[in-house]
Amino acid sequence: MMKTFDSDGVRIAYIDEKPADARATVLLIHGFASNTSTNWGATGWIRELVHAGYRVVAYDNRGHGESEKLYELADYGAPAMSEDARRLLDHLDIPAAHVMGYSMGARITAFLTLRHPHRVTSAVFGGLGINMVRGMAGTGPIAHALEAPSIDDVKNPTARTFRAFAEQTKSDLRALAACIRSAREPITAETVAKITCPVLVAVGSGDVVGGSAADLAALIPNAQAFVIPDRDHMKAVGDRTYKAAVLEFLGRQP
């Protein structure tokens, strides 16, 4: 059962798992068309992190999961969505946390880190490498796929994959279309170079959506890359080697 809080007028659903004597907090931010349950629960991430002694906080992004559905383009965008993360930390009186985002969640994590560096102890960018800087091309076809009367009307293979995933997660297709059509504020190489906290960039070896982990890590002063072997964008998120790399990375942080 998820709890909710008011994020500047938007109802956001979240979970807060606290083991006894938690060593630190990990905030999890899921990807586009996903939700906390699919991205972090079904993949075993929440269980793994709690077992390792971390307090785990995760939430459904606006327009996703059990959070409020919004239909205006101005309601979305990673900078605005990163403020939901910051307000959740405020709501729970958490001064700072390790933050891991996957795909769109990694982009949101980057904006949270840049806007509120004192709130992010370390960051993990999962499923998003150099394309965080280059930007994602072809969001129009994905939006059209989400708005199509039926998945049978979607011929673009990549767009069809997103539509199928959105149906699998029982998402509000109209809200997702507004989210992906929203203004995508660019993150430049010069911008990511301003991130000073420790960063792990983890991307599947076959992930054409995220792009190279090493190329993004090379732009960030205190970053390292991990290539998730033999995984594409959809299959990398629950990979055991990815989990091991993250736990090792977190274990080295103060």
**Confidence (pLDDT) at 1:** 86
Q: Residue 117: give the domain boundaries.
A: 3-134+186-251
Q: Identify whether 20 is part of a domain.
A: yes
Q: Identify whether 60 is part of a domain.
A: yes
Q: How confident is the model at residue 137 (pLDDT cuts 50, 70, 90)?
A: low
Q: Identify whether 157 is part of a domain.
A: no
The answer, as to whether pTM is greater than 0.75, is yes
Q: Identify whether 173 is part of a domain.
A: no
Mean pLDDT for all residues in the chain: 95
Per-residue pLDDT of 32-45, as tens digits, reads 999 999 999 999 99
Q: Identify whether 200 is part of a domain.
A: yes
Q: Identify whether 91 is part of a domain.
A: yes
Q: Identify whether 18 is part of a domain.
A: yes
**Confidence (pLDDT) at 185:** 82
Among candidate residues 104, 52, 110, 111, the one with its CA nearest the CA of residue 80: 111
Per-residue pLDDT of 45-93, as tens digits, reads 999 999 999 999 999 999 999 999 999 999 999 999 999 999 999 999 9
Q: At what angle do helices 104-115 and 78-91 cross, to 10 degrees?
A: 70
Residues 6+ apart with CB under 8 A from 113: 99, 120, 123, 195, 197
**Confidence (pLDDT) at 138:** 61
Chain centroid offset of residue 247 CA: 17
Count structural domains, the chain: 1
What the block records as the tokens of 142 is 């994905």
Give the torsion sign (CA, 84, 90, 94, 97). positive
- The CATH number that applies at residue 192 is 3.40.50.1820
Q: How confident is the model at residue 140 (pLDDT cuts 50, 70, 90)?
A: confident
Q: Identify whether 82 is part of a domain.
A: yes
